[in-house]
Structure 1
Amino acid sequence: MPLKSSFCYSVALATVATATLAPVASAATFNFSYTSSLGTITATVDGTLQPDNNTVFVSSISNTTFNGSPAPALPLTGSYVDSILAGGVVTGQAVLSLDGSGLDFVACNTTNCNDGFGFLPAGLIGPVDLFASVGGYGSLPGGEPFVLANYSLTPVPEPATVLGLLSVAGVGLLCKGRKLEK
């Protein structure tokens, strides 16, 4: 095997091994979108992906928009169920999921929630999952049935993951280019 090919093979193998053996971190940032009968809410969600690779424990929500315009900031997140049981005070663990199942989430501007939205799981006040919003997010305080097709929560790739994939592609192109030179 020529020296150049051997070197290229070694670099490619080391790059793939590094990318494969590197510890996989849970995605911490997600792109969120939901379209209700009044419009579309988008946001950036920070949270921890749980071991089931579906459930996300939400720690914060930012960069919210409603129908494409900046919407009021929502510094408080919690469990919709726990918040109702606590007399309307935002409390508990906010939960979203990648596939839209098991949502128990409320995001509000203040503890009495003049602006905000949330997802209430079936069972507490009705037989179906609900979406509700108030203030700058449209007025659906009683809620409407949750529509799975209108919901999206997707992980944002971490920069290290993107760089790792680019380096693997770069080594592949380098090796391909060296073969063509022969």
Structure 2
Amino acid sequence: MPLKSSLCYSVALATVATATLAQSASAATFNFSYTSSAGTITATVDGTLQLDNNTVFVSSISNTTFNGSPAPALPFIGSYLDSILAGVGTGQAVLSLDGSGLDFVACNTTNCIDGFGFLPPGLIGPVEFFASGGGYGSTFGVFVLANYSLTTVPEPATVLGLLSVAGVGLLCKGRKLEK
């Protein structure tokens, strides 16, 4: 094997190994979407992905829209169950990547005039519920999993790692064509 080709493969393997073995932080940003009978809510969610790689402890929600238009800011987040019992958004706000175990409320004020949330099963019945009010439509109904989405936004380091792998691959391919 020629030296150039050998060096190219070594660099490619090192790049792939570095990208694969890099530690990923548990704090992350997520794209959120839910469609109810009132309309579609989208937002950016900041939170911490737990060790089960599914549960997200939410720390903030921003860039909210309702039916494609900017919606009221929601600085107060917490457990929906706690907000019903205590009257304010307290406790840990929980979303999940697969839509299970949701216990989340996001409101514009502590008395929640505008906002939305997911009520976990058990308090009202054996199923989860979704509720919204004010600038997010006005609805209360059974949670529909097919209408829910929470996906991780790729970190810039991950994107750069993938681009570097692609660049090394193209470099190696170019060197092969020169022969």
Same fold (TM over 0.5): yes
What is the Cα deviation at residue 27 of structure 1? Answer: 5.3
Does the residue aligned with 1:46 lie in a helix, a strand or coil? strand
The alignment's C-alpha RMSD in Å is 1.0
What is the Cα deviation at residue 2 of structure 1? Answer: 1.7
Instruction: Find out whether 1:93 has 2:108 as its counterpart.
Output: no
Deviations along 1:88-108, one digit per CA (max 9) or x if unpaired, are 211000000000000000000
Distance 2:94 2:147 in 1: 18
Distance 1:156 1:42 in 2: 14
Distance 1:14 1:126 in 2: 54
Distance 1:35 1:10 in 2: 48
Deviations along 1:129-181, one digit per CA (max 9) or x if unpaired, are 10001100011xxxxxx000000000000000000011001101110111111
What is the Cα deviation at residue 34 of structure 1? Answer: 0.3
CA contact (8 A) 1:58 1:94 kept: yes
Distance 1:7 1:133 in 2: 59
- Identity across the alignment (%): 91
Does the residue aligned with 1:149 lie in a helix, a strand or coil? helix
1:14 to 1:82, Cα distance in 2 relative to 1, 3 A = same
After TM superposition, list the pairs within 5 Å mapping 1:136-155 onto structure 2.
Answer: 136-139=135-138, 146-155=143-152
What is the Cα deviation at residue 116 of structure 1? Answer: 0.3
Distance 1:16 1:103 in 2: 36
Distance 2:177 2:113 in 1: 65
Distance 2:176 2:74 in 1: 55
CA contact (8 A) 1:27 1:156 kept: no
- In structure 1, list runs of 5 or more residues that go unmatched: 140-145
Runs of 4 or more, structure 1, over 6 Å off, are none
What is the Cα deviation at residue 21 of structure 1? Answer: 2.0
What is the Cα deviation at residue 31 of structure 1? Answer: 0.3
Normalization by structure 1: what TM-score?
A: 0.93
Distance 1:166 1:26 in 2: 22
Distance 1:110 1:27 in 2: 25
